[in-house]
C-alpha cells in the first residue's frame, strides 16, 4: 500500500467526493432516494393495508430500492466525512503511524466505492433478476458436445462459488460423450446482471482426446442467457399459438433428469421459439417451467427489437453482435483464455475452468459501466 503524504491524502479524498457526486448523478440515485422516501411515507398510511395487493406491490418496490440504495447511502456518508476525519485525527495525534492508519482507512473506502461503482453496470431493469443459461454445442459432433459439457461444468462451479442456486431444467446428453443441450435456472442476487456478458460463442482450441492422431481441433459452443420473467412483467401468449408436446425424459438420469413421461416441449408457432423442460416428475411443473422459459425468450425478443429500432434511429451499430465469438480458450500449443471484447486474458487456465470467472465477468461489466 502506497502511503500518501497528508496533503496528497486530503486531495485524494476530495477527488473521491467528486467521483461520488458524478456517479450519484449518472445513476440517478437522488431520484430513487426520493422515491424510497415517498414509499416509506406511504407504508405509514393505515389505508394502504386495506388493499393487500397494492401494499405488497409497494413493499416489493420499497425492498428493492432499499437493497440498492443502502450501500450507496453508507459509502456516501463515509466519503463525505473522511476529509473532516483526517483533520480531526491529525489535530489530536500526529506521526507516521497515524498517517498510515488514515491511508488504510482511505483505501478501504476507495475499494468499497469501486465495488459499488462497478454495480453501476448492473443498473439495468433486468439485472437483479434470476437467469436462464443455455449451452448448445456448435457443429462438430462429439468434439463440440464435449466442449459444451466442459462449459457446463465450468459454470456449475462458478454458481457454487457465488452461492447461487442452480437447477438444471433441461439436459440432453450427447452421442457417446458430452451434451447436446442444457438449460439451467440460476437463482441469486443479480444473477442475470453478472451472467449477461456470457452470451455469445465460446471457442476452444486443444488436442482432441477423441482423435487417435492427437491433432489439434477447434470447437465452438454457444451460451445464451435470458432473465427470468417475474409476474410483474406482462407477456401475453395466446394458447392457439402454442404447440405442446410431451415425451419421455432422456439423458443420464439421476444426476440430471428423471426418466418419466412428463417432459414437455413447447413451441411458439409465430416466432418458432422452442423450449423444453424435463427436470420434474410432474408434467404440470415441467409445463410451468417451460412457460417461464418461453416468456423469458419472448421478453428478450421484444427487447431486442426495441434496441434495434433505437439503433436505427440513432444510426449506431454495435461492435459486438449476438452470436459473435466472445472468448477463446486455447489449451494447445499454449495456455491462454482471452475475452475478445475486453482483451482481458490469463494463461492460468485451470482456475478458470474450475469456475473462477470473476476476472472475466468484472472486466466485461467495467467495459459497459455507464
Cβ–Cβ contacts within 10 Å for residue 322, how many? 12
Is the same domain home to 158 and 276?
Answer: no
Q: Which three cell numbers stand for residue 199?
A: 452470451
Is the same domain home to 352 and 218?
Answer: yes
Q: CA 48, CA 63: separation in Å to the nearest integer?
A: 16
pLDDT at residue 214 in the model: 83
pTM score of the predicted model: 0.68
Q: In what order do the strands lie in the sheet with 273-277?
A: 242-247, 263-268, 273-277
The two beta strands, 325-330 and 200-207, are parallel
The tens-digit pLDDT sequence of the chain (370 residues) is 788 999 999 999 999 999 999 989 888 899 999 999 999 999 999 888 898 888 988 998 998 889 889 999 999 999 999 999 998 888 887 788 899 999 999 999 998 998 887 776 787 878 888 999 999 999 878 999 999 999 999 999 999 999 999 999 999 999 888 999 999 999 998 899 999 999 999 999 999 888 888 889 999 999 999 999 876 567 888 889 999 998 877 654 444 444 456 889 999 999 999 999 988 888 888 998 999 899 999 988 888 787 676 555 333 333 333 346 899 999 999 999 999 999 999 999 999 999 999 999 989 988 887 6
Q: CA 63, CA 24: separation in Å to the nearest integer?
A: 20
The two beta strands, 179-187 and 131-137, are antiparallel
Residue carrying the nine cell digits 415425451:
247
Is the same domain home to 69 and 175?
Answer: no
**Residue 357: CB partners within 8 Å, gap ≥ 6?**
154, 155, 158
Is the preceding peptide bond at 333 cis, omega within 30 degrees of 0? Answer: yes
Q: What is the CATH number of the domain that holds 54?
A: 1.20.58.410
Residue 250 domain boundaries? 229-313
- Among the three residues 122, 148, 176, which one is the final residue of a domain in this structure? 122
How many residues are given for the chain? 370
pLDDT at residue 261 in the model: 65
Of 306, 323, 322, the closest CA to residue 314 belongs to: 306
Radius of gyration of the chain measured on its C-alpha atoms: 25
Is the same domain home to 267 and 150?
Answer: no
pLDDT at residue 60 in the model: 86
* Residue 358 in domain: yes
pLDDT at residue 212 in the model: 80
Do 232 and 135 form a contact (C-beta atoms < 8 A)?
no
Q: CA 188, CA 164: separation in Å to the nearest integer?
A: 5
Is the same domain home to 246 and 303?
Answer: yes
Is the same domain home to 352 and 203?
Answer: yes
Is the same domain home to 11 and 112?
Answer: yes
- Hey, which residues does 202 pair with through a beta bridge? 221, 327
- Hey, which residues does 179 pair with through a beta bridge? 173
Is the same domain home to 340 and 201?
Answer: yes
pLDDT at residue 233 in the model: 66
Is the same domain home to 17 and 84?
Answer: yes
Q: Phi/psi at 98 (nearest 5 deg)? A: -65, -40
pLDDT at residue 316 in the model: 35
Do 200 and 327 form a contact (C-beta atoms < 8 A)?
yes
Q: How many domains are contained in the chain?
A: 3
Q: Phi/psi at 114 (nearest 5 deg)? A: -65, -35
- Among the three residues 100, 122, 144, which one is the final residue of a domain in this structure? 122
* Residue 320 in domain: no
Residue 253 Cα to chain centre, angstroms: 29
Residue carrying the nine cell digits 482511505:
106
pLDDT at residue 232 in the model: 59
pLDDT at residue 202 in the model: 96
Residue carrying the nine cell digits 423442460:
277
Q: What is the CATH number of the domain that holds 210?
A: 3.30.70.1660
- Among the three residues 71, 95, 122, which one is the final residue of a domain in this structure? 122
Amino acid at each position: 500500500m502506497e502511503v500518501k503524504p497528508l496533503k496528497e491524502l486530503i486531495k485524494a479524498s476530495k477527488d473521491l467526493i467528486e467521483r461520488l457526486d458524478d456517479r450519484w448523478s449518472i445513476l440517478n440515485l437522488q431520484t430513487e432516494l426520493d422515491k424510497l422516501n415517498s414509499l416509506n411515507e406511504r407504508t405509514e398510511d393505515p389505508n394502504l393495508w386495506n388493499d393487500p395487493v397494492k401494499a405488497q406491490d409497494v413493499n416489493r418496490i420499497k425492498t428493492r430500492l432499499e437493497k440498492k440504495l443502502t450501500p450507496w447511502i453508507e459509502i456516501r456518508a463515509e466519503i463525505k466525512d473522511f476529509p473532516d476525519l483526517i483533520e480531526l485525527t491529525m489535530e489530536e495525534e500526529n506521526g507516521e503511524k497515524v498517517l498510515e492508519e488514515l491511508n488504510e482507512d482511505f483505501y478501504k473506502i476507495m475499494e468499497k466505492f469501486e465495488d459499488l461503482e462497478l454495480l453501476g453496470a448492473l443498473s439495468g431493469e433486468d439485472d437483479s433478476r434470476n437467469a436462464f443459461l443455455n449451452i448448445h454445442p456448435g457443429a462438430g459432433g462429439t468434439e463440440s458436445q464435449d466442449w459444451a459439457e466442459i462449459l457446463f461444468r465450468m459454470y456449475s462451479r462458478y454458481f457454487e462459488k457465488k452461492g447461487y442456486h442452480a437447477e438444471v431444467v433441461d439436459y440432453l446428453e450427447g452421442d457417446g460423450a458430452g451434451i447436446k443441450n442444457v438449460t439451467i435456472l440460476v437463482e441469486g442476487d443479480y444473477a442475470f446482471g453478472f451472467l449477461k456478458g456470457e452470451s455469445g460463442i465460446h471457442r476452444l482450441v486443444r488436442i482432441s482426446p477423441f482423435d487417435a492422431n492427437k491433432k489439434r481441433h477447434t470447437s465452438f459452443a454457444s451460451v445464451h442467457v435470458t432473465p427470468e420473467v417475474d409476474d410483474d412483467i406482462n407477456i401475453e401468449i395466446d394458447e392457439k399459438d402454442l404447440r405442446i408436446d410431451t415425451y419421455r425424459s432422456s439423458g443420464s438420469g439421476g444426476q440430471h433428469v428423471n426418466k418419466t413421461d412428463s417432459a414437455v416441449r413447447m413451441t411458439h408457432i409465430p416466432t418458432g421459439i422452442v423450449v423444453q423442460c424435463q427436470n420434474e416428475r410432474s408434467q404440470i411443473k415441467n409445463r410451468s417451467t417451460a412457460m417461464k422459459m418461453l416468456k423469458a425468450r419472448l421478453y428478450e425478443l421484444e427487447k431486442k427489437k426495441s434496441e434495434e429500432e433505437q439503433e436505427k434511429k440513432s444510426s449506431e451499430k454495435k461492435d459486438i453482435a449476438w452470436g459473435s465469438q466472445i472468448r477463446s480458450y486455447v489449451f494447445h500449443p499454449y495456455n491462454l483464455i482471452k475475452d475478445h471484447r475486453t482483451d482481458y486474458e490469463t494463461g492460468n487456465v485451470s482456475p478458470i475452468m474450475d469456475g473462477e470467472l470473476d476476472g472475466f465477468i468484472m472486466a466485461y461489466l467495467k467495459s459497459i459501466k455507464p
